[in-house]
Amino acid sequence: MKNKSLVAINDLSKEEIIKILDLAEEFEKNPIQDILSKTVVATLFFEPSTRTRLSFESAVSRLGGRVIGFSEAASTSVSKGESLKDTILTVANYSDLIVMRHPIEGSARYASEVSPVPIINAGDGANQHPTQTLLDLYSIRKTQGTLQDLNIFLVGDLKYGRTVHSLMMAMSQFGATFTFVSPNELKMPNEYKMFLDSQGLKYYEQIDLNENLDKADIIYMTRVQRERFSDPLEYEKVKNVYVLRNKMLGNTKPTMRVLHPLPRVNEIHTDVDTSPKAYYFPQALNGVYTRMSIMSQILGLL
């Protein structure tokens, strides 16, 4: 991975994914090191973020590096009309690695093509979010003991949800069976289902969240993303379509875990928080170890 950008989860082979997870496990055991002591990482967030931005900054700090960047485009020269290309070329002069979130699909791929330093995609519109996927994989392996042949329920906004798109692509390398739970307005796009068909993998679609939960190894909840809707009325129709409650977990497997990329709104009731099957807050912490691993390998330091 040395000096390679990470734009989409399918940029990585199965072996590279496993190597990232193995190294993340080592960082969890020993998280304070000086591996990035001579490194400057730029975090360019053209879109709001809490967990992704802060976990990257935490990962850099724990490894002894320095962070520069911005958390909103309004405070930068972008607000004056500067192009993405010019922003990337300028910031690349000041840094060894750029972490970027942008609302436009394909922006990360474009940035990687013009940048002289590696780009890590921290989310590009409704397209992909590969570092979230890697921390999800780390969380799944940690809770299930394997990534192979699991039954994954993806729930909520499957149309615009970049986290579910990336996770589905990644888990397809490990023989997963998928259940897509969404209203008709937010169904998994056809191109992703066609990909699963081409791989000979099973998937099911349903509208009722309560149906077949006893088969799930992972329930991956997502919020309905208001910012992806051009019509506010369409958002209002589906915003609270699913709410996972603790009583719904009664017949699920003892080893089943509930994941969520966060932030949540109403889709997981707070009564789930005390369940041993709730894993979304430890999942967020896993993002630090996983991003430590990703940056170390991209910079060729491990």
Q: Where are the domains of the chain?
A: 9-128+287-298, 130-284
Burial of 235 (0-12, 13-18, 19+ CB in 10 A): middle
pLDDT band at 220 (very low <50, low <70, confident <90, very high): very high
Q: Kindly state the average pLDDT of the residues 264-282.
A: 95
Report the pLDDT value the prediction gives residue 266, as an integer from 0 to 100. 86
Asked if the model's pLDDT at residue 234 lies above 80, the reply is no
Tell me the CA distances in angstroms from 238 to 96, 170, 231, 261, one per residue in order.
42, 27, 12, 19
CB 149 within 8 A of CB 176: yes
Asked if the model's pLDDT at residue 235 lies above 60, the reply is no
pLDDT band at 35 (very low <50, low <70, confident <90, very high): very high
pLDDT band at 272 (very low <50, low <70, confident <90, very high): very high
CATH of 130-284, one of 3.40.50.1370, 3.90.550.10, 2.60.40.10, 3.10.20.740: 3.40.50.1370
Report the pLDDT value the prediction gives residue 19, as an integer from 0 to 100. 96
Report the pLDDT value the prediction gives residue 49, as an integer from 0 to 100. 85
Torsion of CA 170, 176, 182, 184, to 10 degrees: 90
H-only helix segments in 93-231: 107-114, 130-144, 162-171, 190-199
Does 263 sit behind a cis peptide bond, omega within 30 degrees of 0 on the bond before it? yes
And the tokens for 290?
Answer: 């996983």
* CA distance linking residue 120 with residue 111, whole number of Å: 10
User: What class is the 9-128+287-298 domain?
Assistant: alpha beta
Strand order, beta sheet including 203-206: 203-206, 177-181, 151-155, 218-221, 257-259
Report the pLDDT value the prediction gives residue 129, as an integer from 0 to 100. 87
And the tokens for 19?
Answer: 């190597």
Asked if the model's pLDDT at residue 227 lies above 70, the reply is no
Q: Kindly state the average pLDDT of the residues 163-172.
A: 93
Bigger pLDDT: 200 or 77? 200
Asked if the model's pLDDT at residue 125 lies above 90, the reply is no
Between the ranges 129-133, 230-234, 256-260, 297-301, where is the mean pLDDT highest? 256-260
Asked if the model's pLDDT at residue 72 lies above 80, the reply is no
Report the pLDDT value the prediction gives residue 185, as an integer from 0 to 100. 82
Torsion of CA 11, 217, 260, 228, to 10 degrees: 60
Q: Do domains 9-128+287-298 and 130-284 have the same CATH topology?
A: yes
Report the pLDDT value the prediction gives residue 69, as an integer from 0 to 100. 92
* Secondary structure in 3-state letters for 96-122: CEEEEEECCCCHHHHHHHHCCCCEEEE
pLDDT band at 231 (very low <50, low <70, confident <90, very high): low
Q: Kindly state the average pLDDT of the residues 107-113.
A: 95
Give the percent of the chain with pLDDT over 90.
Answer: 75
